[in-house]
């Protein structure tokens, strides 16, 4: 396992020139990091025009005062710092990966392998993303010069890249044949998955706001509002529909709230219902039981809870 820095190293070469070098630009656009970043943006509903993308790079290279939408001007203004940081990452790749894995295995059973390719890219809103549990992409714009946060986001994405047994993957896929179950996974399953990845990244007590601002101390205080949106989304799914409200839902805040509570009250073992088995219903059951025992509201409506937990095998 290594860290591929090709796209960033080509950007360094591009920004060392006064004019956009077409050959360097072509090589940059051909890197896996850039290709998958552009594909990811399209999937997330933020399609990128290649013509505009090139224009932004060109203007950032050739105009010292231009501030583009992808943050290439930040790259240009920190060129020396970035060049040194990339050299340091390449020198320190083994201890970086070792420390990220150490964080992951505080939550994930050591019997679950993590073997993935890691590539850096530049731009966009996200901290990173994982493809098919095999490839990790990190938005270097968010983390250059910040080794602690870089390792933390690596550990987050490594959680997503854990190797799940064929048996459990098969059971999960069979369970999502029905449209209702697929829609439930896209909401509740994602909430649980991201909540666990955030526990790996930040621990059960959030000491510092996430750099991407998807998880902050202030939006945890307002988690009740997120649960209200979640209830509306789940009612729509129960009615056999998708929900337009899901785009307003902060799954990271809800996921972290639910998973951190289970972690503190029942430990890691209970979380293996998802980490190992991909059974989000068991996670919700654990969460509701803890809330009932503590005399606090789970913030999910009772009828919705009964509907989620009605399946056999819980």
The tens digit of pLDDT for each residue in 43-99 reads 988 998 999 999 999 999 999 889 998 999 999 999 999 999 999 999 999 999 999
CA-CA distance, 68 to 89, in Å (whole number)?
26
Q: State the pTM of this model.
A: 0.92
Q: Read off the DSSP letter of residue 164.
A: P
Question: Do 170 and 154 fall into the same domain?
Answer: no
| Domain range enclosing 251 | 166-308
List, in order, residues 6 or more apart from 159 with CB less than 8 Å away.
Answer: 104, 107, 108, 196, 197, 200, 201
The count of structural domains within the chain is: 2
122 and 189 inside one domain: no
Give the Cβ contact number of residue 193 at 10 Å.
Answer: 21
Cα-based angle 154, 156, 157 (whole degrees, multiple of 5): 65
The Cα-based distances of 245 to 5, 77, 215 in angstroms read 38, 39, 19
Tokens of 113: 């392998």
Inside any domain, residue 313: no
- Give the model's pLDDT for residue 245: 85
Distances (CA, A) of 237 to 43, 180, 191: 22, 7, 15
Reply yes or no on whether the pLDDT at 38 is more than 50. Answer: yes
Please state, for a pLDDT cut of 70, what percent of the chain lies above it.
Answer: 99
Q: Give yes or no: residues 81 and 131 share one domain.
A: yes
Residues 82 and 216 in one domain: no
For residue 314, tell me if it sits in a domain: no
pLDDT at residue 310 greater than cutoff 90: no
CB count in 10 Å sphere of residue 245:
15
Tell me which of 116, 134, 160 is where a domain ends.
160
| Residue 313 tokens, joined | 């095998």
**Predicted confidence band of residue 163 (pLDDT cuts 50, 70, 90):** very high
> Which of these three, 131, 160, 189, is where a domain ends?
160
CB 156 within 8 A of CB 127: yes
Domain C-terminal end among 97, 126, 160: 160
**Per-residue pLDDT tens for 181-200?**
788 888 999 999 999 999 99
* 279-288 pLDDT per residue, tens: 999 999 999 9
Beta carbons of 163 and 114 less than 8 angstroms apart = yes
Report pLDDT digits (tens) over 71-87: 999 999 999 999 999 99
Confidence bin at 242 (pLDDT 50/70/90): confident
Pick the residue with more confidence: 247 or 102?
102
What are the DSSP E strand ranges found in the chain? 3-4, 117-121, 128-131, 135-139
């Amino acid at each position: 396992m290594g860290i591929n820095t090709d796209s960033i190293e080509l950007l360094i070469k591009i920004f060392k020139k006064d004019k956009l070098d077409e050959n360097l630009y072509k090589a940059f656009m051909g890197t896996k990091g850039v290709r998958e970043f552009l594909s990811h943006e399209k999937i997330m509903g933020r399609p990128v025009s290649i013509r505009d993308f090139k224009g932004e790079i060109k203007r950032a290279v050739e105009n010292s005062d231009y501030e583009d939408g992808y943050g290439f001007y930040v790259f240009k203004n920190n060129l020396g710092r970035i060049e040194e940081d990339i050299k340091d990452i390449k020198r320190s790749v083994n201890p970086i990966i070792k420390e990220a894995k150490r964080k992951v295995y505080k939550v994930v059973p050591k019997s679950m392998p993590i073997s993935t390719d890691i590539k850096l890219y530049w731009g966009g809103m996200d901290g990173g993303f994982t493809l098919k549990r095999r490839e990790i992409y990190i938005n270097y714009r968010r983390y250059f010069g910040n080794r602690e946060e870089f390792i933390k986001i690596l550990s987050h994405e490594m959680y997503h890249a854990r190797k799940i047994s064929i048996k459990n993957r098969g059971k999960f896929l069979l369970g999502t044949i029905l449209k209702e179950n697929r829609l439930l996974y896209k909401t509740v399953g994602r909430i649980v998955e991201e909540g666990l990845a955030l526990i790996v990244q930040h621990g059960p007590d959030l000491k510092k706001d996430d750099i991407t601002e998807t998880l902050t101390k202030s939006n945890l205080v307002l988690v009740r509002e997120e649960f209200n949106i979640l209830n509306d989304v789940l009612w729509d799914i129960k009615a056999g529909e998708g929900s337009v409200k899901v785009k307003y839902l902060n799954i990271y805040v809800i996921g972290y709230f639910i998973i951190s509570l289970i972690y503190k009250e029942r430990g890691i073992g209970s979380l293996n219902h998802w980490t190992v088995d991909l059974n989000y219903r068991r996670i919700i059951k654990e969460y509701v039981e803890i809330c009932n025992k503590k005399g606090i509201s789970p913030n999910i409506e009772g009828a919705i809870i009964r509907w989620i937990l009605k399946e056999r095998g819980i």
